[in-house]
Amino acid sequence: MSSRVNAGTFILGDRVVNRMGYGAMQLAGPGVFGPPQDRKAAVAVLRAAVEAGVNHIDTSDFYGPHITNQIIREALHPYADDLVIVTKVGALRGEDASWKPAQSAEDLTRAVHDNLRNLGLERLDVVNLRLMGDIHAPKEGSLAEPFAALAVLREQGLIRHLGLSNATAAQVAEAQTIAPVVCVQNHYNLVHRKDDALIDALAAQDIGYVPFFPLGGFSPIQSDALSEIAADIGSTPLQVALAWLLARSSNVLLIPGTSNPLHLAENLAAATLELSADVQARLDAIATP
């Protein structure tokens, strides 16, 4: 697969990453639980992403659990010098595939060491504290205790940089009184835009914003207006949705995920789309009321 990552770069902490990255969540089995049906295919997709120029991979050891990180290690270790692997901690999986909070200092320390072991690393590039909130929406509340626990692990040299996931603006500000924050990963896409003000505030501080569910996640974006715009410019709706995110702000870093090599190529090709002012205006008019 030839390189199609032409979306520009961003300095994430102290590492330069391409703004079009890859999210590894879908490499696990159904419901992000258990092994994939085809492990060799999962390995191949990861290698294809990196060969195409992706150098920012988002993961977590609670994907599987453990399985996604083990696949990343199998596919890519020893890692290229420019590859940045971002993980998240703050949850664990029940035997019934449920998602459970795991935010004590002991839980977080164990999770960091699990990530280190399964990825085959001595230091994690970026660790996001995944706040549980309302599952896919943030909820106000102090994060001082868990974030301080991660800050200690950072001081010990196990983590290079810290970030947040599923966080409010107030929680970002609170975290910054404890340790630097290099990125925030929240639910945001063409039709879900509650974080508009936060994106702009983070951009002013050179902090990355990483939208999860950039294509709608478990409920893919469906919009007649989006489909019409895509047809007009000879692209696919999901490519246009990704291109809109890249155009939204220079601090937006994309991590669309897939276990399908054709979908991977389609996602990466979105980085080549240049949206006219008219098209951007039409896209801006699409949003959930």
Query: Long-range contacts for 234-241 (Cβ within 8 Å, ≥24 apart)?
Result: 235/270, 235/273, 236/266, 238/266, 238/267, 238/270, 239/266, 239/267, 239/269, 239/270, 239/273, 240/270, 240/273, 240/275, 240/279, 240/283, 241/189, 241/190, 241/214, 241/215
Active site residues: 63
> Vertex 283, ends 278 and 287: CA angle to 5°?
150
Question: What dihedral angle (degrees, nearest 10) is formed by the CA atoms of 198, 203, 207, 208?
Answer: 80
Cα-to-chain-centroid distance, residue 107: 22
